[in-house]
């Protein structure tokens, strides 16, 4: 009986030692969103390019931005979302210009044409090019460029190819 008690005590001590010796994995430390990063994310939709946004927040190096993307998962995710929203905004504007058109002032002999009340005369212009690009993007199976090249030899026969190996 005394042997069993001793074995139980040893087992408990060993169990405590095993628990204490196992290292606890440290949670990976994420870089925090700094003021520069937050400013960049806030300003990107206004400026629309990495370089212009960096200049607007007083930074010169694009390397800084790419380092942020590599080292900060939260920043990268936020940037991707903001970029997606910005692209959607540009797509809406392209659709508006293609479908609703844009009022352009009319000039004659270099002078602005006005109506009897002095208001500029305008003409509505639509962008066929933007419309084409949007159709290609939204329905590529229908509107993408389709081309194929077929090569034949004499008398519509297949082209024969010969490969020669030359020892040097």
Q: Tens of pLDDT along 140-166?
A: 999 888 777 777 878 888 887 778 888
Residue 133 neighbours by CB distance under 10 Å: 15
Contacts of 14 (CB under 8 A, 6+ apart): none
What is the per-residue pLDDT across 84-112, written as a single tens digit (0 to 9) for each? 999 999 999 999 999 999 999 999 999 99
What are the structural domain ranges in the chain? 33-91, 101-144
Query: What confidence category does residue 60 fall into, taking pLDDT thresholds of 50, 70 and 90?
Result: confident
Contact status, residue 120 vs residue 105, Cβ threshold 8 Å: yes
Its pTM stands at 0.61
What is the pLDDT at residue 32? 74
Averaged pLDDT score across all residues of the chain? 85
Higher pLDDT, 108 or 3: 108
Q: Is the pLDDT of residue 22 over 50?
A: yes
Residue of higher predicted confidence among 7 and 126: 126
Cα–Cα dist 84/79, whole Å:
8
Residue corresponding to tokens 């949007």: 134
| CA separation for the pair 130, 108 (Å, rounded) | 27
pLDDT confidence of 2, banded at 50, 70, 90? very low
């Amino acid at each position: 009986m005394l042997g069993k008690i001793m074995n139980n005590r040893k087992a408990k001590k060993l169990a405590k030692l095993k628990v204490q010796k196992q290292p606890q994995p440290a949670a990976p430390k994420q870089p925090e969103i700094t003021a520069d990063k937050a400013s960049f994310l806030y300003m990107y939709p206004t400026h629309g390019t990495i370089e212009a946004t960096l200049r607007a927040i007083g930074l010169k190096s694009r390397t800084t931005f790419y380092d942020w993307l590599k080292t900060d998962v939260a920043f990268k995710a936020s940037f991707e979302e903001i970029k997606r929203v910005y692209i959607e905004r540009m797509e809406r504007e392209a659709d508006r210009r293609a479908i609703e058109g844009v009022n352009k002032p009319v000039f004659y002999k270099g002078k602005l044409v006005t109506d009897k009340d002095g208001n500029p005369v305008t003409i509505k212009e639509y962008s066929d090019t933007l419309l084409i690009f949007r159709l290609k993007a939204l329905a590529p199976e229908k509107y993408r460029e389709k081309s194929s090249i077929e090569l034949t030899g004499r008398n519509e026969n297949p082209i024969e190819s010969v490969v020669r190996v030359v020892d040097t």
